Amino acid sequence: MNVVNSSGWRPSMGEDGEASALPETCSGDHALMLEEPLIFELAATEGKCGVDFEEVEAEPVAGLARFLRKEAPALPSLAESETIRHYTRLSRQNYAIDLGPFPLGSCTMKHNPRLNEKVARMPGFADVHPLQPAASVRGALEVINELAVWLIELTGMHGVAMSPKAGAHGELCGLLCIRAAHEAKGEAREVILVPESAHGTNPATAAFAGYKVESIPATADGRVDLAALEAKLGPHVAGVMITNPNTCGLFERDMKKIADAVHACGGYVYCDGANFNAIVGKVRPGDLGVDAMHINLHKTFSTPHGGGGPGSGPVVLSEALAPFGPLPFTARDEAGVVHLVEENNAGAFGHTQAFGRMVAFHGQMGMFTRALAYILSHGADGLKQVAEDAVLNANYVLRSCEDVLSAPFGSAGPCMHEALFSDTGLAEHFSTLDIAKGLIDEGFHPMTVYFPLVVRGAMLVEPTETESKVGLDRFIASLRSVAERARAGDESLHAAPVYAPRRRLDETMAARKPVLVWKGEANPAD
């Protein structure tokens, strides 16, 4: 029996699996987890405010009178204590990396060392303004340049554009470099090849950049079909966008052969570096023939991911593409002084073929300082261990669960940074979504679901190197428990999550008709 009160909470389950008896007037509160109305619903009394404002009698500045409000804004009226408690109660319903792992595949959401946060908040970094003269931020430019040198060394590349703001932005930067390089040779190539095992942003970015996209199928072991790729090469192909390690959690063993074939036809190789965490310190993409690759600082080098952004996606470039990298960038002169190279001084540094700018201002110091602090605290050997531990953790999850969850590429050997499962083998009418919702009841954030598309009912788990064996064992035990329930046909799993603040949503309706604005009690669904 599934009992749901008006607030959407599901009551506790008894030992027999039945919902505990609750009075019809149940408040929806659940021990220390309190039911929380919207802030507008809390503000039932008009005129309350946590701040006192003095009456302003002065006339508005000339020319601004027309912007005066005709009536007060429709803001909730709450005292300070009520406001603090409201948002604190909401925060208790939020999952965070300080509570447990985010096993999201292809996202690399790991613990952010507090040391990095402290460095990012140091005066001189935290308060840098983008409009400051370059001469007043020499220290910041030194940090950016030092980080750039590390990124070039770790990837075996020739140059780096530090200005892109995130992964897809970096992809666009790389493709614009490729376009500029072809145009400099008088070529108008129009096709980008994208394997099925690549990240979904790759074909989207190629199309946005004005290219036609042609897909390359995967082999039975989840890697790029080299023969199929070679069959599509020709003078019309500008390049290939390949994710390595790919979204099946596998390293592309034919990467060098792919690069050689693309170069032979005059194209360039773009590598999606979102999964660089799996190979940092172990493999230099430049040695594999890569011409451009973005690096998500907010994945590999610890800076906040998602809501803690903004992100940062520097793009490392080969010797062939570096001349076309965007402005601005940092460079040292003969005296060793770091300069910000922009349009007015690009010629002095021999950078006259830049395709243009990606952003109005150079970069985001918070991301750069965190990333450099992470790199320096680990050193080259420590970064190598990061990759090794990340791969070890993923294989531990894969081998610990492959007897209760189908692992489509488990027989292909060890995985890289993420373990891939499918819903094949579950009882009839049970799916990946049931596993994900069941994990919520176990106290864990679900893994990435239904991606990559080459696997039916995919479940992609990336534990990252920052998870201990004790933590992984706890996650594995929960994942196995939910999987065994689904294999046994436990119908109660269809109701999951039972213990979450809200019951299972109609996800299709939520995506197609989201309710984003509070309209008041009269018609809150509008």
Rounded CA separation 307/438 (Å): 25
**Exposed (0-12), middle (13-18) or buried (19+): which is 219, by Cβ within 10 Å?**
middle
The answer to whether the CB of 312 falls within 8 A of the CB of 368 is: yes
**Exposed (0-12), middle (13-18) or buried (19+): which is 475, by Cβ within 10 Å?**
buried
- Other Cβ atoms less than 10 A from the Cβ of 347: the count is 10
Domains identified in the chain and CATH numbers:
39-92 (no CATH), 115-126+137-322+335-371 (3.40.640.10), 387-512 (3.90.1150.10)
Concatenated DSSP letters for 19-51? BPP--TT----BTTB-----HHHH--STT--SS
Model confidence pLDDT, tens digit, residues 278-312: 999 999 999 999 999 999 998 999 877 765 556 89
Mean pLDDT calculated for residue range 256-265: 98
Pairing outcome for strands 212-216 and 191-195: parallel
Mean pLDDT calculated for residue range 6-15: 42
Rounded CA separation 213/190 (Å): 9
How confident is the model at residue 46, as a pLDDT? 59
Rounded CA separation 445/465 (Å): 17
How confident is the model at residue 524, as a pLDDT? 42
The answer to whether the CB of 464 falls within 8 A of the CB of 305 is: no
Label each residue of 384-444 as H, E or C: HHHHHHHHHHHHHHHHHHCCCCECCCHHHCCCCCCEEEECCCCCCCCCHHHHHHHHHHCCC
Greater pLDDT, 421 or 517: 421
Rounded CA separation 353/177 (Å): 10
What residues contact 443, with CB distance under 8 A and at least 6 apart? 100, 478
pLDDT over threshold 70, residue 210:
yes
* DSSP H stretches of helix in 62-212: 80-92, 114-120, 138-155, 167-184, 201-208
Rounded CA separation 411/307 (Å): 37
Model confidence pLDDT, tens digit, residues 83-109: 899 999 998 888 888 899 999 998 899
Would you give the DSSP letter of residue 319? Answer: T
pLDDT over threshold 90, residue 361:
no
Rounded CA separation 489/503 (Å): 20
Pairing outcome for strands 448-449 and 459-461: antiparallel
Q: What pTM value is reported for the model? A: 0.88
- Vertex 273, ends 204 and 230: CA angle to 5°? 65
> How does residue 19 score in pLDDT terms, banded at 50, 70 and 90?
very low
- Copy the structure tokens of residue 56: 């302003």
The answer to whether the CB of 157 falls within 8 A of the CB of 268 is: no
Which backbone phi and psi does 292 adopt, to 5 degrees?
-150, 140
Least confident of 61-65, 113-117, 284-288, 482-486: 61-65
How confident is the model at residue 48, as a pLDDT? 67
Mean pLDDT calculated for residue range 495-521: 85
> How does residue 62 score in pLDDT terms, banded at 50, 70 and 90?
confident
pLDDT over threshold 50, residue 419:
yes
Partners of 338 in beta bridges: 332
What residues contact 363, with CB distance under 8 A and at least 6 apart? 144, 162, 163, 312
Q: How does the average pLDDT of the chain come out, rounded?
A: 89
